[in-house]
A and B are shown apart, each in its own frame.
Chain A
Amino acid sequence: MGKERGKGASLMEKKDGDAGRKLSRRDFLRVGGGGLAGAALLGAAGCGGSGGSGSGGGPVNITVAFGRETSGTLAQLIKEFNKKNGGKIKVTWRHMPSDTGQYFNQIQTEFQAQKTNIDLIGGDVIWPAQLAANGWILDLSDRFTESEQKKFLPGPIQSMTWQGKIWGVPWFTDAGMLYYRKDLLAKSGYKNPPKTWDELKSMAEKITKEQGIQNGFVFQGDKYEGGVCDAMEYIWTNGGNVLKNYNTNTVVIGQPPAIQGLATERSMVTSGVAPQAVATYQEPQCEPIFLGGKAVFCRNWPYMYSLAKQYKMDPKNVGLAPIPVSGNNETASCLGGWNFYISNLSDKSKQDAAYKFIQFMVSPENEKRFTLKGGYLPTLRSLYEDKELLSKVPTLQNSTAISHTHPRPVSPYYSDMSLKMQEQFNDSLKGTVSPKQAARTLQGQLTQIIKQGKNA
């Protein structure tokens, strides 16, 4: 144990100076994970594949990892890019699980094994700090300069920034939005969607009573990542946060505004506006309720808009608005979306080629095509003034929501933080602990995680 087997790993030894110990853990993961025979095969394949980079005049082969893309636009763009760079760069798409958690686990396992078979990652917005802290992704500060960054929406850029450096290029974005039924609101005499949470509650109460609708408001309250996103929106729109300035080591979740946020979320259930079972809802449970005509309001991501027809709901009756606020606070949407990260384990020539591919993908014309055909929200500011896009992609018109996105805590220990937040936010929503208690518990737990992380 501890002896080396391939190029990729010896490259890494120089980087972290802790190779001996690292290898033993890696060997353990291999043996424990896949059984010896399988692991040995994998190991051999990994070594074989890691060599040969652009030497000998052939094209630079780079592998981009990405999950599912149903519209076929990504495959088309890769084809075009390869054609344009004929003979110099060849991009191959490696299909990854569409579930973010599974995808991340796979990437993590491969990086832990120091495999160099992925050069470019199309990955979730919450990953950069975790990947960067382990030395797995490239610092893009000299390539992706500040003047370049200014072309993009501020939220995604903020989520890519950690320890003063930028680790990824935003590709497409996602923002939490308030869906409402235009027809139901009009019938009860409301012209505009609610601006505050209190307005939402009173409107929902009136409409459900007057028109016999089963639910006032549904959102994602389950114990999972989406539950964190929803709770964060309540916290932000009450003026609170989890970490000070999103990425510092100061935990502020225990302070009154954050507690107020969790209390607002809980009040949706106690007032009867949201069903009690909202604490078990994820996106798939919200869709049939709202689009099936059983709710007045729904918080969800932009994707749901395109499903209206599938549920026989007239898209004309579906309205989109920014997330409501408490008092005079600013609206805030949880930032989602996917970005490009370059592997730190790849050779320099591959990294350069990968960056070229990124530039191709985030060029205005290609982002526009991706939005038109795939329905993904672009990350370039300029596209939000594009008349064609605005008329063809209705979710884009909700630009207040999109320009007010906030990242979840940017931390190398986000996974641990998320586990704790999922638990406490869910308990607070269910009422098994008070919002105050949940926030206080989190204040301690998150502080502990940061402390532990510094020592690790």
Chain B
Amino acid sequence: MTTAAKPQRRGVGWLKEEFGNPERRTAYIMVLPVFVIVLAVAFYPVADAIWLSLHGGTPTITGSFVGVQNYVNMFENPDFQSGLVNTIIFTVASVTIELVVGMAIALAINRSFRGRGLVRAAVLIPWAFPTVISATMWRLMFQDQVGVISYVAHALGLVSHPILSDQTLLMIACVIVDAWKTTPFMALLLLAGLQTIPGDVYEAARVDGANAIQRFIRITLPLLKPTMLVALLFRILDAYRVFDLFWVLGGQQLESLSTFVYQSVRVSQLQFPEGNAAAVFIFISALLIALFFIKVLGMQTSTEE
């Protein structure tokens, strides 16, 4: 796969060398179908979507070429703006909470104690629910006349508005539910990383007189960095594309980038080009986030080097 995807510049001699060898030839032939499928299902739709996002029209008719006008309209659309802001707030808040709490849980269950296996399994339960199910469940708890959380929050005087009709409270609710749901996932990834750190490193540090905090900052964090970057990238991209949690828990009152795309391309008759542009925007910005992690933060993408 990798050899086929990245042809090297070496002239005709290279071609002869590659295809003259029967074994290599077979390898290319075997890789070819996968390559074609990837091209067809991954590359083509993306390229087509980008091309379409430069045209006007309706869901049925592709209009004329309009350049970046759709993107301009999209950025001027207040629904898109609030979707973008909400998505960013949600991503930053939920991933931060998940990293901190997930780290604490990972450190805790990394120690050996009785019933550790059970605790590790129990921690994962929230993550096992499909998001729509947990979102529906939480929405019931946030509801005004029957919801337990709503009842308690009102009794304690924490909120004065119905939670489900207030944008700020809804956002807080979404962050809480997302943290509840995906912190275990984060903890599990971090735990896997923690277990690759050899125990004798800590042993040596302890002998040298380093206390727990020093050991955490000087040993755990640096050695855990590759795992943390992978976990963070996973969660950031996931949170960035949030749809079902906002749609169900927010009762369609809270806009995210993905809900904007859905409303535009599936419900609206006129906003189709803008929705298309927004879909491309999500794709490109997610790609940039991933590139940032790999190039700037030095995330390892393979185990070869």
Contacts and interface: CB of A to CB of B under 8 A. Distances in A.
B48 A32 contact: yes
B41 A416 contact: no
Contact of A430 (B44, B59, B145, B165): B165
A36 B143 CA distance: 42
Interface in B51-91: 52, 56-63
B162 A276 contact: yes
Contacts of B252: 223-224
Contact of B263 (A31, A294, A419): A419
Interface stretch (B11-19, B192-200, B209-217, B266-274): B266-274
Contact of A279 (B58, B60, B162, B268): B162
Chain A interface bracket (under 10, 10 to 19, 20 to 34, 35 or more) = 35 or more
Contact of A280 (B45, B144, B263, B268): B144
Interface in B230-272: 251-253, 263, 266-271
B145 A25 contact: no
B269 A416 contact: yes
What range describes how many residues of B lie at the interface?
A: 20 to 34
B157 to A, nearest CB: 16
A124 interface: no
Nearest to B266: A105
Given A223-B253, A416-B270, A453-B269, A25 B60 contact: yes
Given A276-B162, A419-B268, A223 B251 contact: yes
Given A223-B251, A279-B162, A285-B143, A101 B267 contact: yes
B142 to A, nearest CB: 9
A415 B144 contact: no
A419 B62 contact: no
A108 B267 CA distance: 10
Given A18-B61, A426-B253, A277 B164 contact: yes
Interface in B29-45: 37, 40-41, 44-45
Nearest to A289: B145
A25 B162 contact: no
Contacts of A35: 41
A230 interface: no
Contacts of B60: 22, 25, 112, 134
B162 A280 contact: yes
A124 to B, nearest CB: 14
B274 to A, nearest CB: 11
B24 interface: no
A413 B62 contact: no
Contacts of B253: 222-223, 280, 426
Contact of B271 (A21, A285, A416): A416
Contacts of A214: 145
B161 interface: yes
Contacts of A105: 266-267
A121 to B, nearest CB: 17
Nearest to B254: A223
Contacts of B268: 415-416, 419
Contacts of A25: 52, 57, 59-62
A366 interface: no
A285 B59 CA distance: 34
Given A25-B59, A32-B49, A277-B145, A456 B162 contact: no
A448 to B, nearest CB: 9
A63 interface: no
A123 interface: no
B243 to A, nearest CB: 15
A277 B139 CA distance: 13
A31 B44 contact: yes
B49 A28 contact: yes
A223 B267 CA distance: 14
A296 to B, nearest CB: 15
A211 interface: no
Contacts of B63: 21, 456
Given A28-B45, A31-B48, A413-B269, A108 B144 contact: no
Interface string A390-429: 0000000000000000000000110110010000001000
A244 B63 CA distance: 30
A36 B63 CA distance: 24
B51 to A, nearest CB: 9
5 contacts: A25-B57, A32-B45, A134-B60, A280-B144, A456-B58
Which 7 pairs from chain A and chain B are nearest by CB?
A277-B162, A277-B144, A280-B164, A279-B165, A25-B62, A21-B62, A280-B165
Interface of B: 37, 40-41, 44-45, 48-49, 52, 56-63, 143-146, 161-162, 164-165, 251-253, 263, 266-271
Given A279-B162, A416-B268, 20 more contacts: A25-B59, A31-B41, A31-B48, A32-B48, A214-B145, A222-B251, A224-B252, A277-B144, A277-B162, A277-B165, A279-B165, A280-B251, A288-B146, A289-B145, A413-B269, A413-B270, A416-B270, A416-B271, A419-B268, A456-B269
